[in-house]
Amino acid sequence: MNSYHIGKNGKQTGPFDEETIRQQIATGVLNTSDLCWREGMKDWQAIGTVLGYTQQAGTPPPPLARLIETTPSSPHQLTTFPVALAILLHYATFGIFTLVWLNLMHGKMCRVRPDDPSAGKALGFCFIPFFNYYWIFFTYRRLCLRIDEQRDLYGLPPGNLCGFATTACIFHVIPYINLLFGYTLITPIFIGMMQSSVNQLARTSATTVPRTTLQLSPAPTKGMSAGAIAAIVCACLIPVIAILAAALFPAISSAQNSAKMSAMANKGRGIWVAVSSANAEREPLGMPEVWPTNSYATSTDYFKSLTGWAMNGSLPTTFTSEKDAICADLNMSLLAGSGVPCADASATFSSENNAWCVVAQSENAKVPDETPFLFTRNIAVTVEDGQVRLELTDAMPLGRRGCVVVSRNGAVLRLKQRDLEKYAQTLDPNFLRHLLNP
> According to the model, what pLDDT value does residue 191 have?
93
Same domain, yes or no: 306 and 202: no
Is residue 73, in this structure, part of any structural domain at all? no
Identity at 60, one-letter amino acid code: P
* 434, 359 Cβ separation under 8 angstroms: yes
**Residues 192 and 284 both lie in one domain:** no
Q: What residues of the chain score a pLDDT lower than 70?
A: 1, 10, 53-75, 211-230, 232-234, 236-237, 240
User: Residue 57: what pLDDT?
Assistant: 42
The residue from 11, 34, 51 where one domain ends is 51
What local confidence, expressed as pLDDT, does residue 323 receive?
72
Q: What is the pLDDT of residue 312?
A: 72
The model's pLDDT over 37-78, given as tens digits with 9 standing for 90+, comes to 888 787 788 888 887 765 444 444 444 444 444 443 346 899
Paired with 387 in beta bridges are: 384
Q: Do 340 and 216 fall into the same domain?
A: no
Among candidate residues 325, 281, 316, the one with its CA nearest the CA of residue 298: 316
Picking from 198, 224, 250, the residue at the C-terminal end of a domain is 224
Helices 83-92 & 96-104, crossing angle to 10 degrees? 130
Counted domains in the chain = 3
pLDDT score recorded for residue 118:
93
pLDDT digits (tens, 9 = 90+) for 374-392: 999 999 888 888 888 889 9
* Statement to judge: residues 207 and 313 lie in one domain: no
Phi, psi of 183 (to 5 degrees): -65, -40
Q: Are residues 171 and 311 in the same domain?
A: no
**Residues 47 and 91 occupy one common structural domain:** no
Pair 413, 285 in one domain? yes
**Does residue 274 lie in a domain region?**
yes
Q: What is the pTM of this model?
A: 0.52
CB count within 10 Å of CB 24 equals: 17
CA distances from 227 to 83, 193, 224, 231 (A): 13, 10, 8, 6
What's the confidence (pLDDT) of residue 71? 41
**Do residues 267 and 123 both lie within one domain?**
no
Asked if residue 287 and residue 427 are part of one domain, the reply reads yes
Instruction: Kindly state whether residue 238 falls inside one of the protein's structural domains.
Output: no
* Of the residues 172, 200, 224, the one at which a domain ends: 224
Give the sign of the dihedral formed by CA 353, CA 357, CA 361, CA 362: positive
pLDDT reported for residue 220: 38
Domain assignment present for 163: yes
Q: With respect to residue 129, please indicate whether it lies within any of the assigned structural domains.
A: yes
Q: Is residue 69 part of a domain?
A: no
Tell me: do 147 and 214 sit in the same domain. Answer: yes
Q: Reduce the DSSP state of residue 82 to 3 states and report it.
A: coil
Supply the CATH number for residue 22's domain. 3.30.1490.40
- Domain limits for position 123: 83-224
Does one domain contain both 390 and 273?
yes
Residue 239 lies in a domain: no
pLDDT at site 228: 65
Both 207 and 269 in one domain: the answer is no
